[in-house]
Chain A
Amino acid sequence: AQKVTQAQTEISVVEKEDVTLDCVYETRDTTYYLFWYKQPPSGELVFLIRRNSFDEQNEISGRYSWNFQKSTSSFNFTITASQVVDSAVYFCALNSGGSNYKLTFGKGTLLTVNP
């Protein structure tokens, strides 16, 4: 069975602070895919990144960076110099391919960036 754990339910930071959102996953499959989605107050889920299980390179996109470590089954997300517009719920998700590529979501982390 697959499982995604986002232990941080809520995080509150002040603008310009760096913040890391944790994600730990469980799967028995050797090939799998990890995702991060952002859900702002409007409700729409915005795709941020996909990472394949065989690619452990960390990735940076502007103020966003992701640290994928298979040894600890973690896929953490860091926002550098946070901004108020980063306030949202962030979901980590996992799929192992197979039939239809169903996603298993974590419970989400509510990030509030205060001015």
Chain B
Amino acid sequence: GAVVSQHPSWVICKSGTSVKIECRSLDFQATTMFWYRQFPKQSLMLMATSNEGSKATYEQGVEKDKFLINHASLTLSTLTVTSAHPEDSSFYICSARERTGRETQYFGPGTRLLVL
């Protein structure tokens, strides 16, 4: 149980385009989903916390208009990188916490984004 999927697993796009990444909890309902960014050989950096049916809460320094988050249902959250630039190239990982209030976050397999 507690499986989280992400799609796509990797994407290459041209500078200036927008990219949407989906995060789904496959076998549980997730009240809260989290979006992280990870640079090579570094730890995970929390970008935002996404609650179903409400606006996402962004961490300090993360541009809300740049990284659009939508958590439309208890099993799906999306991250859209708008007008992507090469510096947005990174590994993006989502996680989900079960609705029952358990403390454990389960992580998706991640999405590697390369902006040319």
Contact = CB atoms under 8 A, between A and B. Distances in A.
A95 B103 contact: yes
Interface in B69-116: 91, 93, 95, 97, 103-110, 112
Contacts of B42: 107
B34 interface: yes
Given A100-B51, A102-B49, A106-B43, A43 B106 contact: no
B95 to A, nearest CB: 8
A91 B93 CA distance: 14
B27 to A, nearest CB: 14
Contacts of A100: 32, 34, 49, 51, 57, 97
B79 to A, nearest CB: 16
| Most central of A33, A50, A103, A108 by chain B CB within 10 Å | A103
A46 B51 CA distance: 23
Interface range for B: 20 to 34
B19 interface: no
A75 interface: no
A105 interface: yes
A68 to B, nearest CB: 15
| Most central of A35, A44, A91, A107 by chain B CB within 10 Å | A44
Contacts of B51: 100
Contacts of B2: 47
Interface in B1-55: 2, 32, 34, 41-44, 46, 49, 51
A78 B103 CA distance: 23
Contacts of A91: 43-44
Interface of A: 33, 35, 37, 42-47, 50, 91, 95, 97, 100-103, 105-108, 110
